A and B are shown apart, each in its own frame.
Chain A
């Protein structure tokens, strides 16, 4: 017979993560608001560290990994202990998880403004931080599985499945995506190039959305919504189908970020097909959440917590319907590279993640501090402000996306582009950018009200240890006639392996053919590796975050080939480590910008964009003219690239800096000719950047070599 055990939950760690969630949430929103305002008032790009190209990655990293990341840990540490009737396995690992994660966020806050970045969206942090992330994430996993193994409750509630799948998949994604060769402490070269790097990045990028912003939060939904409503989830069966359906299909959808690019067509179609299929489990989950409130809708009218959760789940439903629709090629042709995408992701983050986090915080903080919420009216105010904020944020951006895309595609009867000057399509939507900033401000004000409310709540409460009682753990003997799924529900390790297996099949099937089959990336004879100076220039392009606003991927539409030049071919990117295809055109595509303008045009444009394009919202980059680029690692980079099969001549590394100086002198001479004189001009970053920009897309020749 088993005996009754008494034990204490570790709620200190939950409180710590809750505080971190609220505070980093405010930081993420402030940085986002700042970046949004920069698009309306370019003079808000004060310094190199605060220019849009560097702030935008800081905003996305803060929102995803600091705000939502801490939210995940907060919710998991609270619910896991109670669902398993056990204290966390190791208090040390819990603390390590907390302080490690905050240190990583701090490292991001320091390195991203300094321009230390891999350029890969949502994985901008450089390799030393990547290793730290892996360590902390593993600590979290060990702690979670340790707790699962010593649990006093046999059944693994559906929320825990979502946590397990999250941990497994994020581990796999992070490791595969971080395959890079370090150059020095702040720089690395990815193993994959061009189209392969792009596929890997969006395999990661899409699944970061799926397994960091979605599955853990679904777990939280399945725990905190029933708790807040005090009624069981509508259908436990449906939650099981929701789980397996979602983790199986999600991993395949990544290529929908690369529609109409140089990615092979079959891979694009595969991504689209699976994206459409995602509607089923996603909406099953949404309905399961909403129907949990059946018979309790009268409470939703007065209870702010439930209101937050209802809007969150509705936003989840809207975003997961919109996502598959955006994966249809005909719609993607309009939406991609525009602010439509930005609106879409903010329905997800502000609506789904934000509102669910707020709801959980309002429910959790009074519990953690053993008191009542300080002010219900303030919580209700926050709800309405936040909901309005989301609308004011997204509606203008949907509008802006449509308007700009239609302007890009508009032709005159004589066959010329109506808006041949890209800038016209930007100035047209600046009022919408202003509206969006207003929406963001409203949302931020709401969050500040919440922080005040929660702070007052915590002050009136007192911290107490929460003890619970449960029957001690006994080894289970299978019952006659029980369904076999029960077996897996009781076995976390088997469950872990199975989930990994299911997740991996999807990833492998998509990526391996790309790595193995040469014919997927047709080589083009005229495409040559970058010169040493162009390599250094490319790195400046990456450090300044140019790819944040400029794509390098001309899609095969007449409206694009007319504007930018011949469409991009995969063979043109085989030396691009990392790829710089981009995902947004706040400015024009740059893939064929090479030789389009004289060197002096670029010099003046980088120094003061408005001097060349009046009305431009691009930041000025005066520091490029003053700072010298480093050649300390040029040789090292060449050697690494050679080891990755970039065909530089043997022993070229020794000669690289000399070649670099020669090319810099040529560009300097051309600048001098146009009247630009400056001391040590040939050593300045601007020269390297011009070398790279002038090279872009110029190797292209129509004939392909179809060789093995």
Chain B
């Protein structure tokens, strides 16, 4: 019957994981400012200089 115990533990950890994931999703500002990094990555400010 130990297997039942492990199944319960697994389910609990699973539920906990989802709860944490949910809190992350809500409180990580995803409904807020998660736009600028995706635009900024497009600009490299690169200059090429010939090393001769």
List chain A positions with a Cβ less than 8 A from chain B: 82-83, 85, 155, 157-158, 223, 226-227, 230-233, 236-237, 239-241, 244-245, 248, 264, 266, 270, 370, 464-470, 482-486, 502, 505, 509, 513, 517, 519-520
- B9 located at the interface, meaning its Cβ lies under 8 Å from any Cβ of chain A in the complex: yes
Q: Once the chains are docked, how many angstroms separate the CA of A82 from the CA of B27?
A: 29
Q: Once the chains are docked, how many angstroms separate the CA of A91 from the CA of B13?
A: 42
B48 A370 Cβ-Cβ under 8 A = yes
A270 B21 Cβ-Cβ under 8 A = no
Can you list 19 A-B contacts (CB < 8 A)?
Answer: A223-B41, A232-B35, A232-B41, A240-B30, A241-B30, A370-B48, A464-B49, A465-B49, A468-B45, A469-B47, A470-B45, A483-B32, A484-B28, A485-B27, A513-B2, A517-B3, A517-B6, A519-B2, A520-B3
Shortest distance from the beta carbon of A483 to any chain B beta carbon, whole Å: 3
In the complex, which residues of chain A have a beta carbon less than 8 angstroms from the beta carbon of B25? 241, 244
B6, B10, B44, B50: the one contacting A82 at CB < 8 Å is B44
B51 A464 Cβ-Cβ under 8 A = yes
A483 B28 Cβ-Cβ under 8 A = yes
Please give me the 6 A-B residue pairs with the lowest Cβ-Cβ distance, nearest first: A485-B28, A483-B29, A232-B38, A237-B30, A236-B38, A236-B34
Extra 14 A-B pairs, beta carbons < 8 Å, given A158-B37, A227-B41: A155-B37, A232-B39, A236-B34, A237-B34, A240-B34, A464-B50, A466-B46, A467-B49, A469-B47, A482-B29, A483-B28, A483-B29, A509-B9, A517-B3
B13 A505 Cβ-Cβ under 8 A = yes
In the complex, which residues of chain A have a beta carbon less than 8 angstroms from the beta carbon of B38? 226, 232-233, 236, 239
Q: Once the chains are docked, how many angstroms separate the CA of A226 from the CA of B44?
A: 13
B30 A467 Cβ-Cβ under 8 A = no
Q: Once the chains are docked, how many angstroms separate the CA of A377 from the CA of B15?
A: 53
Q: Once the chains are docked, how many angstroms separate the CA of A466 from the CA of B50?
A: 9
A244 B21 Cβ-Cβ under 8 A = yes
Q: Once the chains are docked, how many angstroms separate the CA of A248 from the CA of B21?
A: 9
B21 A509 Cβ-Cβ under 8 A = no
Shortest distance from the beta carbon of A498 to any chain B beta carbon, whole Å: 10
Are A483 and B27 CB-contacts (below 8 A) given A266-B3, A464-B51? yes
Are A509 and B28 CB-contacts (below 8 A) given A248-B17, A248-B21, A468-B44? no
In the complex, which residues of chain B have a beta carbon less than 8 angstroms from the beta carbon of A230? 42
Q: Once the chains are docked, how many angstroms separate the CA of A60 from the CA of B17?
A: 34
Shortest distance from the beta carbon of B51 to any chain A beta carbon, whole Å: 5
Shortest distance from the beta carbon of A7 to any chain B beta carbon, whole Å: 11
B3 A226 Cβ-Cβ under 8 A = no
In the complex, which residues of chain A have a beta carbon less than 8 angstroms from the beta carbon of B2? 513, 517, 519
Q: Once the chains are docked, how many angstroms separate the CA of A297 from the CA of B4?
A: 53
Q: Once the chains are docked, how many angstroms separate the CA of A384 from the CA of B32?
A: 41
Q: Once the chains are docked, how many angstroms separate the CA of A465 from the CA of B32?
A: 38
B17 A505 Cβ-Cβ under 8 A = yes
Q: Once the chains are docked, how many angstroms separate the CA of A82 from the CA of B46?
A: 9
Give the size category of B's interface with A.
20 to 34
Q: Once the chains are docked, how many angstroms separate the CA of A82 from the CA of B45?
A: 9
In the complex, what residue of chain B is closest to A252 when comparing beta carbons?
B14
In the complex, what residue of chain B is closest to A509 when comparing beta carbons?
B10
Most buried by A among B21, B27, B41, B50: B41
Are A485 and B29 CB-contacts (below 8 A) given A83-B41, A236-B37, A248-B21? yes
* Majority secondary structure, A binding face: helix
B9, B31, B42, B47: the one contacting A467 at CB < 8 Å is B47
In the complex, what residue of chain B is closest to A514 when comparing beta carbons?
B6
Q: Once the chains are docked, how many angstroms separate the CA of A3 from the CA of B45?
A: 16
Q: Once the chains are docked, how many angstroms separate the CA of A483 from the CA of B29?
A: 6
In the complex, what residue of chain A is closest to B3 when comparing beta carbons?
A266
B10 A270 Cβ-Cβ under 8 A = yes
Q: Once the chains are docked, how many angstroms separate the CA of A458 from the CA of B22?
A: 48
In the complex, which residues of chain A have a beta carbon less than 8 angstroms from the beta carbon of B21? 244-245, 248
In the complex, which residues of chain B have a beta carbon less than 8 angstroms from the beta carbon of A485? 24, 27-30
Q: Once the chains are docked, how many angstroms separate the CA of A82 from the CA of B42?
A: 10
B42 A227 Cβ-Cβ under 8 A = yes
Q: Once the chains are docked, how many angstroms separate the CA of A483 from the CA of B25?
A: 11
In the complex, which residues of chain B have a beta carbon less than 8 angstroms from the beta carbon of A83? 41
A237 B6 Cβ-Cβ under 8 A = no
In the complex, which residues of chain B have a beta carbon less than 8 angstroms from the beta carbon of A245? 21
Shortest distance from the beta carbon of A668 to any chain B beta carbon, whole Å: 48
In the complex, which residues of chain A have a beta carbon less than 8 angstroms from the beta carbon of B30? 237, 240-241, 485
A467 B41 Cβ-Cβ under 8 A = no
In the complex, what residue of chain A is closest to B5 when comparing beta carbons?
A513
In the complex, what residue of chain B is closest to A367 when comparing beta carbons?
B46
In the complex, which residues of chain B have a beta carbon less than 8 angstroms from the beta carbon of A158? 37
Most buried by A among B2, B34, B39: B34
In the complex, which residues of chain A have a beta carbon less than 8 angstroms from the beta carbon of B46? 466-468
In the complex, what residue of chain B is closest to A292 when comparing beta carbons?
B38
A266 B7 Cβ-Cβ under 8 A = yes
In the complex, which residues of chain A have a beta carbon less than 8 angstroms from the beta carbon of B44? 82, 468
Shortest distance from the beta carbon of B48 to any chain A beta carbon, whole Å: 5
In the complex, which residues of chain A have a beta carbon less than 8 angstroms from the beta carbon of B32? 483
Shortest distance from the beta carbon of B2 to any chain A beta carbon, whole Å: 6
In the complex, which residues of chain A have a beta carbon less than 8 angstroms from the beta carbon of B50? 464
In the complex, which residues of chain B have a beta carbon less than 8 angstroms from the beta carbon of A505? 13, 17
Shortest distance from the beta carbon of B15 to any chain A beta carbon, whole Å: 12
In the complex, which residues of chain A have a beta carbon less than 8 angstroms from the beta carbon of B34? 236-237, 240
Q: Once the chains are docked, how many angstroms separate the CA of A676 from the CA of B41?
A: 72
Shortest distance from the beta carbon of A140 to any chain B beta carbon, whole Å: 22
In the complex, what residue of chain A is closest to B18 when comparing beta carbons?
A248
B37 A157 Cβ-Cβ under 8 A = yes
A467 B48 Cβ-Cβ under 8 A = yes
A465 B51 Cβ-Cβ under 8 A = yes
In the complex, what residue of chain A is closest to B35 when comparing beta carbons?
A236
B13 A509 Cβ-Cβ under 8 A = yes
B41 A226 Cβ-Cβ under 8 A = yes
A157 B47 Cβ-Cβ under 8 A = no
Q: Once the chains are docked, how many angstroms separate the CA of A155 from the CA of B28?
A: 14
Shortest distance from the beta carbon of B10 to any chain A beta carbon, whole Å: 5
B24 A244 Cβ-Cβ under 8 A = yes
Shortest distance from the beta carbon of B35 to any chain A beta carbon, whole Å: 6
Shortest distance from the beta carbon of B21 to any chain A beta carbon, whole Å: 6
In the complex, what residue of chain A is closest to B31 when comparing beta carbons?
A237
Most buried by A among B7, B10, B40: B10
Shortest distance from the beta carbon of A32 to any chain B beta carbon, whole Å: 35
In the complex, which residues of chain B have a beta carbon less than 8 angstroms from the beta carbon of A85? 45
A484 B37 Cβ-Cβ under 8 A = no
Shortest distance from the beta carbon of A248 to any chain B beta carbon, whole Å: 6
Shortest distance from the beta carbon of B28 to any chain A beta carbon, whole Å: 3
Q: Once the chains are docked, how many angstroms separate the CA of A624 from the CA of B49?
A: 62
A466 B48 Cβ-Cβ under 8 A = yes
Shortest distance from the beta carbon of B9 to any chain A beta carbon, whole Å: 7
B41 A157 Cβ-Cβ under 8 A = yes
In the complex, which residues of chain A have a beta carbon less than 8 angstroms from the beta carbon of B51? 464-465
